[in-house]
Amino acid sequence: MEYFHHEVRDGVLHCENVPVENIARKLGTPTYVYSRRILERHFALLRDAFDQVETLVCYSVKSLPNLAVCQVLREMGAGFDVVSGGELFRALQAGAHPRKIVFAGVGKSAEDIEYALDSRILMFNVESEPELRKIDLLARMKGVRADVALRINPDVDPHTHRHITTGKKETKFGIDLLAAERLARETPSLAGVRLIGVHAHIGSQITETAPYTEALEKTLEFAGRCRDAGNPVEWVNIGGGFGIDYVKDEALPASSYAEVLQPLISRAGYRLAIEPGRFIVGNAGILLTSVLYVKETGDRRFVILDAGMNDLLRPALYGARHAIWPARCDVEMGSAEAEAVCTPADIVGPVCETADCFARDLPFPPVREGDLLAIFSAGAYGMAMASNYNGRPRPAEVLVSGDYFDVIRMRETWDDLIRGERKVARWD
Ligand SMILES: Cc1ncc(COP(=O)(O)O)c(C=O)c1O
């Protein structure tokens, strides 16, 4: 039996060959656990699906930035999609080849841009006219020419949560087509930039192909106009956004996207870049957490966990749903037997916010203080968004490879919470 790509053997949840309770016993909870096999498999699925055109898979660092994860993907040939100088630093520390790094983000600072110019990255995904002018100026001051793509806003609805929709015209991302075309007519005369690509990332957790096709058609048409204006455009970048399974089977196989997108790209004769994050790491990660208390009050059963919204923000931020189940349980999640023993529970964290709730009225089996639970599909935008809110050290991270696991980030301590802070001198 498998839950979200993780095997259950005799009622005991495993990550690859390791019973997850062994990890919790050794390291405590909350702890993020990632499967190397799953993340490698998902990277390979995408890479192999897009084998009909020359494709650079740029792993989106923001989804799970841990160095070891970046290193594993780099070893498989991944490039990187970064959105800040900090992410660029991280990718380079993981051994990334600079010519496989693309740099997006609506607010690149001069410091970010100079660092990327000095690092000789593959290209900037430019998100506004003033940003293009700043890159042009900084590059000329350094006596170099920056390779850039224009990130267009194709005004396509990806049918996902509004907070992770990025390609509609009312969002802050990219440049509208009219303005982009005006810029593309000017770029051949700018000495500090060379327009070599067109980029569009329309959103995240997309589980249909039609929005991609619509966005790609607009992107290709625009890329053609850029070429006509004298720009040496060779790359089309369709961003990331490929959806995964959270509480039900909703993900499309990588091949579904490839089947509709590749013929369009190959006909037009471009190299393709994609920027997947969630698809690679989402299902590879679980968050292990222990039950602190079970509180029965009024007509409600609250299962209070030692993981909170500071550890996994998505449910509080987007109303995102994750499957949750005990790491050792005699009944199978979703089965008729489970239905017989489950009663509704609110699965909540310890943070002082009502929004600190992972699931409301979730049919859940009886659990007791100390029981270990797994929150599934937590690899993407989990640890990446963790904070110290409520004075809570961030979790440890573990990478499982077959029979072994490595601690790839230590659990923070209370000392870490005040590191870098200074008390003020008395002045009364
Ligand atoms: C420009 C860009 N590319 C790629 C991604 C990765 O998206 P996903 O994790 O859904 O694949 C994002 C996510 O926000 C993004 O903003």
CATH classification at residue 357: 2.40.37.10
Q: How far is the CA of 42 from the centre of ligand 1 (A)?
A: 16
Q: Which of 39-48, 167-176, 194-203, 373-382 has the least mean pLDDT?
A: 167-176
Closest atom of ligand 1 to 166 CA is 16
Reported pTM: 0.96
Beta strands in 43-192 (DSSP E): 55-60, 79-82, 101-103, 123-126, 146-151
Q: How far is the CA of 88 from the centre of ligand 1 (A)?
A: 15
Clarify whether residues 15 and 141 are in a common domain: no
Instruction: Please confirm, yes or no, whether 352 is among the known catalytic residues.
Output: yes
DSSP bridge partners of 294 = 303
Clarify whether residues 25 and 157 are in a common domain: no
Q: Does residue 166 lie within any of the structural domains?
A: yes
The sign of the torsion formed by the CA atoms of 310, 311, 314, 315 equals negative
Q: Does residue 212 lie within any of the structural domains?
A: yes
Clarify whether residues 190 and 258 are in a common domain: yes
H/E element holding 86? Answer: helix 85-93
Clarify whether residues 257 and 324 are in a common domain: no
Residue nearest (by alpha carbon) to ligand 1 atom 4 = 240
How many domains does the chain contain in total? 2
Residue 218 pLDDT > 80: yes
Clarify whether residues 125 and 64 are in a common domain: yes
Confidence at residue 417, expressed as pLDDT on a 0 to 100 scale: 98
Clarify whether residues 30 and 169 are in a common domain: no
Q: Does residue 113 lie within any of the structural domains?
A: yes
DSSP state, residue 95: T
Distance of CA 361 to the CA centre of its chain: 28
Interval 60-118: pLDDT, tens: 999 999 999 999 999 999 999 999 999 999 999 999 999 999 999 999 999 999 999 99
Quote the domain boundaries for residue 80: 50-279
Clarify whether residues 315 and 175 are in a common domain: no
What's the burial of 326, exposed, middle or buried (CB within 10 Å: 0-12/13-18/19+)?
buried
Q: How far is the CA of 204 from the centre of ligand 1 (A)?
A: 6
- From 39, 45, 62, the mutation candidate for ligand 1 (largest count of ligand atoms within 8 A of CB) is 62
Distance of CA 113 to the CA centre of its chain: 22
73: domain CATH number is 3.20.20.10
Give the confidence band of 169 by pLDDT, cuts at 50, 70, 90.
Answer: confident
| Pocket lining: 380 vs ligand 1, CB cutoff 6 Å | yes
Q: Please state the φ and ψ torsions of residue 224, each to the nearest 5 degrees.
A: -60, -40
Q: Does residue 428 lie within any of the structural domains?
A: no
Confidence at residue 164, expressed as pLDDT on a 0 to 100 scale: 65
Neighbours of 140 (CB within 10 A): 15
- From 152, 208, 245, 275, the mutation candidate for ligand 1 (largest count of ligand atoms within 8 A of CB) is 275
H/E element holding 210? Answer: helix 210-228
Give the end of a domain, one of 246, 279, 312. Answer: 279
What's the burial of 333, exposed, middle or buried (CB within 10 Å: 0-12/13-18/19+)?
buried
Interval 225-281: pLDDT, tens: 999 999 999 999 999 999 999 998 889 999 999 999 999 999 999 999 999 999 999
